[in-house]
């Protein structure tokens, strides 16, 4: 740690301390009906700085020292115009727009506005510097430089943030999906997956993002359902008068390029139903039902089993590709319209080891666990800004995202697969598993906002949201067989080893926000503001799942000829003869509702070097999950939970000087259980592991404390140190459940969890040229060290009788699920500021080991010897390189090399069989993702 601090201080000693801003704007031609005037000269009088307007009349002059200037515009044959009193402020963008003509422009024809661009790093740093709360952001400019393609990856560039390859969750300060809250433009967005509370951030590609911010401290204007922070995505909008951008990109993954994969990349049997990134049909036609099957459920199921294929197909050229277009136009002085759309296709392949242990003995082994995955993303967003007058404006945002993911999983093709109790060793049979699944998620987000300045001291903002999500798995195909060189035999255990399943989610969500800001005091030395408001959120989900299985009349009554043609036996004739028989489980379903109503108040006060924010939020949360599932005795039930609380927060900021500050924040929040953590539906992964909800799980209560020091040596540089502490009562954990092989569930496994840590961050210019067209070498680095533990519960009834324990092998404490002890993020960027700039970035990330699922006793009264240890996700390093070059002014070529180190991704588990009494660390999952190389070309006006 001392070495890291010494390195950071050494780099900071070399920074440039100059404070600068930017002058930009548009020049029009009065003689041509105010059309853009290209190639005119713009100079800052008394300096050597200046520029030329482009084809659209736009200009930009960067790195202007703070001060007041005269800006002169001139063009041959036109009367020059000089604009006085142009104020340049640190990190801000002064927009000076005017017109040239045969006679000089009057001063009232000159528009001067000081603003910030939330796409630019300097503007976001300025926002962070001025904010009272602890907040960090990344803008579109940084996203482009670092080759970041989606919001999920963008969050990992912020200090203390990691993502899990195993779960797909984003973790902030060690707290995962359930402790996080996600919004878009300040309004909630729905989840696209029953496995998550928050939407998959990878669905937001960077073309729809203006900036992404992580608020690590709670503000009363936000939902109290969070402990780690709120991720807010600000949607992209038109920043100038017009925009046009068209781009294409192509590439390949090194795993996919391997011989035997590239020329035979497997896709599911649903391939025929894919059209332009959408799943179009059901893949079957009507059929006559054999006379022995007369019930309606079986009648509907029959065509799925006999007329949809059971065998995967393939594509021969699995190359990644992407097409994108963005266009926007300012219409008159009141209306701005911006539209962006893109579609991309990505291919992934991974192969490795899968094992499952139970009570320290091996259950399942697959040494060639193989995944083929093809994902098609389609995104479209529209943004309309209408300025009614100087005091009233409106904005409408509509976002549509469609994600079509197709996966084929195979294990045991090499003849080494063993599944617990399927066959005896002396039979000489091994196991083969194939799981084919297509998931289509369609999400439509609609938001309407209004801003009203009733007076200089009263501003009202409001927003309405209507969101829908349709998540469909229309034809999941599962086969489990025993085989050797002489025979292929259908799996024996259970009636659903040959099955087709389908499930869908239907989410509808309404959201509302009203916020009134009242300025109580505004003088040079003191400012005071009161914010009052209301929030409303109602989310309703319908979930349905159906299992359709096939069994044979007796073992070996019918045998497929090959594991590559299992579907050949599932014919109408074999059902009519009775060789094959149906098994149909009644539909699993649950209906869930979350209703949240809130009223909040916040008071801001600033005086010279001091700033304070105190807030209170009254929030009533109602959750009801009604379920009807097969794995619960009696099938039906419901979990009704209500929480009615007052949540307080306070932020205090002290400015040591103009560039340095200290911040302190404290708050109390809640963590509501998610629908998937409550509903006891059993979801089976391709490897056969099962996850189910727990209707008895309850919300956690969180107490948060933060302390942060920030130093802004210049407008684009930062050094900060933060310390944080979180106390969580009744923390929620994913735990391997007792008495069920391979079943994971969710429990309030600890009485209390404690998390504390320290974060270091720096953004510095290692080299910065003084020339306007010079170069810049820039380093961004953040590091986090965390300590975390929770005391494991033992549960007794009211009479003191023992019920169950979460302690195992003598442990009374354990780390927190998902938390890494060490997190490092770094990026090194080199940029030239020439007319056709060159940009190169090297980006690295590391997160140390974390707990994927807590251990648990298998036999409650023998927790020291009969237990399953925790499953650990092993830390690894990722390294990406991005190089781009602009040429001919409007064209950009970009080369991306992602995951260059291609590390092996592993999950491990400590195993101590009673036969040897020796504990060893066993790999339970391993694979690599491969490196991805792509080349893109973009044309922009």
Region 195-224: what's the mean pLDDT? 78
Q: Residues 785-809: what's their mean pLDDT? A: 88
Which class for 304: exposed (0-12), middle (13-18), buried (19 or more C-beta within 10 A)? buried
Whether residue 169 is predicted with pLDDT greater than 70 in this model: the reply is: no
In this prediction, residues 107-121 reach a mean pLDDT of 52
pLDDT > 90? residue 133: no
Q: What is the mean pLDDT of residues 502-509?
A: 88
pLDDT at 294: 45
The average pLDDT across 233-259 equals 88
Q: What is the pLDDT of residue 1?
A: 41
User: What is the distance of C-alpha 155 from the center of its chain?
Assistant: 7
Q: Which of 12-21, 43-52, 161-170, 525-534 has the lowest mean pLDDT?
A: 12-21
Using pLDDT thresholds of 50, 70 and 90, give the confidence band for residue 152: low
Q: 121-239 maps to which CATH number?
A: 2.170.130.10
Q: What is the mean pLDDT of residues 80-107?
A: 77
DSSP strands (E only) in 484-609 = 488-490, 498-522, 526-552, 580-607
Asked if residue 253 lies in contact with residue 930, where contact means CB atoms within 8 angstroms, the answer is yes
CB atoms within 10 A of CB 17: 8
pLDDT digits (tens, 9 = 90+) for 368-418: 999 999 999 898 999 999 989 889 999 999 999 898 999 999 999 999 999
Read off the pLDDT of each residue in 658-675 and give the average, rounded to a whole number: 90
Does residue 369 or residue 40 have the better pLDDT?
A: 369
Q: Average pLDDT for residues 55-76, to the nearest whole number? A: 83
- The domain ranges of the chain are 2-115, 121-239
pLDDT digits (tens, 9 = 90+) for 449-459: 999 999 889 99
Number of Cβ within 10 Å of residue 286's Cβ equals: 9
847 pLDDT tier (thresholds 50, 70, 90): confident
Instruction: Name the residue with higher pLDDT: 91 or 737.
Output: 737
Question: What's the confidence (pLDDT) of residue 741?
Answer: 55
| Secondary structure of residue 470 in the 3-state scheme | strand
822 pLDDT higher than 70: yes
What is the structure's pLDDT at 359?
A: 85
pLDDT at res. 47: 85
**pLDDT for 259-307, tens place per residue?**
999 999 999 988 777 777 777 754 443 344 444 444 444 445 556 666 7
Residue 163 pLDDT level (bands cut at 50, 70, 90): low
CB 682 within 8 Å of CB 661: no
Determine the average pLDDT of the residues in 172-176.
Answer: 73
Average pLDDT over residues 710-733: 88
Mean pLDDT across the chain, nearest whole number? 84
**Percent of the chain at pLDDT exceeding 90:** 37
Spatial CB neighbours of 667, under 8 Å, sequence gap ≥ 6: 217, 218, 647, 648, 649, 650, 703, 704
Per-residue pLDDT at 202 exceeds 80? no
Report pLDDT for 124: 63
Q: What does the pLDDT average to over 703-723? A: 88
How far apart, in whole angstroms, are the C-alpha atoms of residue 168 and residue 818?
A: 11
3-state secondary structure (DSSP) of residue 143? helix
- Count the Cβ atoms, other than its own, within 10 Å of residue 610: 12
**Ranges 89-93, 428-432, 473-477, 608-612, most confident:** 428-432
- State the pLDDT at residue 15: 36
Dist. CA 779–CA 766, nearest whole Å: 7
Reply yes or no on whether the pLDDT at 566 is more than 80: yes
Which residues, in sequence order, are bridge partners of residue 296?
Answer: none
Burial 693-727 (b: 16+ CB within 10 A, else e): bbbebbbbbbebebbbebbbbbbbbbbbbbebebb
pLDDT at 28: 85
Which residues lie below 8 Å from residue 657, measured CB to CB, with a gap of 6+? none
Q: What is the CATH number of domain 2-115?
A: 2.60.40.1120
- pLDDT bracket for residue 753 (50, 70, 90): very high
What is the arithmetic mean of pLDDT over 157-186?
73
Residue-by-residue DSSP string for 169-212: -EEETTB-GGGEEEEETTEE---S-TT-SS--GGGSBGGGEEEE
DSSP state of 810: T
What Rg value do the Cα atoms of the chain yield, rounded?
30
For residue 516, the model assigns a pLDDT of 95
Threshold 0.85, pTM exceeds? no
pLDDT > 70: percent of the chain: 86
């Amino acid at each position: 740690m001392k070495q890291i601090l010494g390195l950071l201080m050494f780099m900071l000693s070399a920074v440039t301390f100059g404070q600068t801003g930017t002058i930009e704007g548009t020049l029009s031609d009065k003689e041509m009906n105010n059309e853009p005037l290209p190639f005119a000269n713009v100079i800052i009088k008394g300096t050597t700085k200046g520029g030329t307007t482009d084809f659209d009349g736009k200009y930009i002059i960067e790195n202007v020292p703070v001060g007041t200037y005269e800006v002169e515009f001139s063009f041959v044959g036109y009367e020059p115009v000089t604009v006085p009193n142009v104020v340049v402020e640190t990190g801000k963008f002064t927009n000076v727009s005017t017109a040239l003509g045969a006679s000089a422009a009057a001063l009232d024809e000159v528009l001067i506005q000081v603003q910030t661009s939330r796409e630019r790093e300097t503007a976001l740093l300025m926002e962070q510097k001025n904010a009272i709360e602890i907040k960090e952001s990344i803008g579109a400019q940084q996203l482009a430089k670092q080759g970041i393609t989606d919001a999920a990856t963008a969050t990992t560039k912020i200090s203390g943030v990691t993502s899990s390859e195993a779960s797909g969750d984003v973790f902030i300060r060690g707290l995962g999906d359930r402790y996080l809250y996600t919004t878009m433009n300040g309004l909630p967005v729905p989840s696209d997956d029953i496995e998550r509370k928050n939407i998959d951030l990878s669905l937001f590609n960077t073309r729809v993002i203006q900036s992404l911010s992580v608020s690590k401290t709670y503000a009363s204007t936000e939902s109290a359902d969070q402990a780690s922070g709120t991720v807010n995505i600000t949607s992209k909008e038109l920043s100038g008068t017009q925009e046009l951008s068209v781009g294409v990109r192509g590439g390949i993954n090194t795993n996919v390029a391997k011989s035997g994969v590239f020329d035979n990349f497997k896709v599911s049997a649903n391939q025929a139903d894919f059209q332009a990134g959408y799943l179009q049909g059901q893949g079957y036609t009507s059929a006559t039902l054999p006379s022995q099957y007369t019930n309606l459920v079986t009648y509907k199921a029959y065509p799925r089993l006999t007329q949809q294929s059971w065998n995967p197909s393939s594509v021969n050229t699995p190359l990644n590709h992407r097409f994108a277009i963005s266009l926007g136009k300012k219409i008159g002085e009141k209306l701005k319209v911006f539209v962006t759309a893109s579609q991309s296709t990505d291919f992934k392949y991974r192969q490795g080891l899968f094992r499952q242990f139970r009570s320290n003995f091996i259950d399942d082994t697959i040494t060639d666990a193989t995944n083929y995955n093809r994902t098609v993303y389609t995104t479209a967003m529209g943004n309309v800004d209408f300025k009614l007058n100087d005091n009233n404006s409106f904005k409408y945002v509509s976002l549509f995202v469609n994600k079509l993911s197709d996966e084929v999983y195979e294990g045991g093709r090499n003849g080494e697969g063993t599944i617990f109790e399927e066959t005896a060793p002396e039979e000489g049979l091994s196991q083969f598993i194939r799981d084919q699944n297509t998931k289509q998620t369609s999400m439509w987000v609609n938001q309407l906002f209004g801003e009203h300045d009733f007076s200089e001291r009263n501003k009202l903002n409001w927003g309405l949201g209507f969101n829908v999500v349709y998540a469909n798995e229309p034809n999941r195909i599962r086969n489990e067989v025993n085989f050797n060189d002489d025979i292929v035999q259908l799996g024996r255990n259970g009636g659903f080893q040959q099955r087709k399943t389908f499930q869908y989610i239907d989410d509808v969500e309404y959201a509302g926000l009203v916020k009134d800001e009242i300025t109580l005091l505004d003088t040079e030395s003191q400012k005071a503001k009161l914010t009052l408001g209301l929030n409303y959120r109602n989310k309703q989900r319908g979930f349905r799942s159906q299992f359709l299985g096939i069994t044979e009349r007796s073992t070996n009554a019918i045998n497929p000829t090959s594991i590559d043609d299992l579907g050949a036996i599932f014919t109408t004739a074999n059902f009519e003869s009775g060789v094959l028989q149906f098994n149909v489980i009644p539909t699993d379903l649950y209906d869930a509702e979350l209703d949240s109503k809130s009223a909040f108040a916040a008071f801001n006060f600033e005086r010279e070097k001091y700033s304070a924010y105190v807030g209170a939020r009254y929030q009533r949360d109602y959750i009801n999950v009604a379920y009807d599932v097969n794995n619960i005795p009696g099938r039906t039930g419901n979990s009704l939970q209500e929480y009615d609380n007052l949540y307080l927060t306070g932020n205090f900021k002290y400015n040591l000087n103009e560039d340095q500050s200290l911040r302190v924040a404290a708050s109390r929040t809640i963590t509501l259980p998610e629908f998937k953590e409550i509903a006891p539906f059993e979801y089976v992964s391709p490897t056969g592991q099962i996850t189910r909800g727990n209707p008895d799980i309850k919300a956690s209560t969180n107490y948060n404390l933060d302390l942060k020091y920030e130093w802004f040596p210049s407008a684009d540089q930062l050094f900060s140190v933060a310390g944080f502490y979180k106390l969580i009562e009744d923390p929620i954990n994913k735990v391997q459940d007792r008495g069920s092989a391979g079943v994971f569930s969710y429990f309030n496994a600890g009485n209390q969890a404690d998390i504390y840590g320290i974060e270091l961050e720096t953004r510095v210019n290692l080299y910065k040229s003084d020339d306007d067209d010079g170069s810049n070498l820039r380093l961004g680095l953040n590091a986090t060290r965390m300590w975390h533990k929770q005391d494991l519960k033992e549960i007794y009834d009211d009479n003191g009788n023992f019920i169950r324990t979460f302690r195992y092998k003598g442990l009374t404490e354990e780390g927190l699920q998902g938390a890494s002890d060490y997190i490092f993020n770094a990026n090194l960027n080199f940029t030239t500021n020439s007319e056709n700039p060159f940009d190169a970035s090297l980006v690295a990330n590391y997160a140390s080991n974390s707990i994927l699922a807590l251990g648990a006793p298998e036999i409650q009264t023998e927790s020291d010897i009969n237990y399953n240890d925790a499953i650990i996700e092993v830390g690894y390093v990722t390294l990406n390189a991005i190089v781009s070059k602009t040429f001919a002014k409007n064209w950009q070529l970009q080369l991306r090399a992602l995951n260059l180190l291609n590390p092996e991704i592993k999950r491990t588990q400590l195993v101590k069989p009673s036969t040897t009494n020796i504990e060893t660390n066993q790999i339970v999952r391993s694979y690599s993702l491969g490196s991805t190389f792509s080349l893109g070309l973009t044309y922009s006006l």
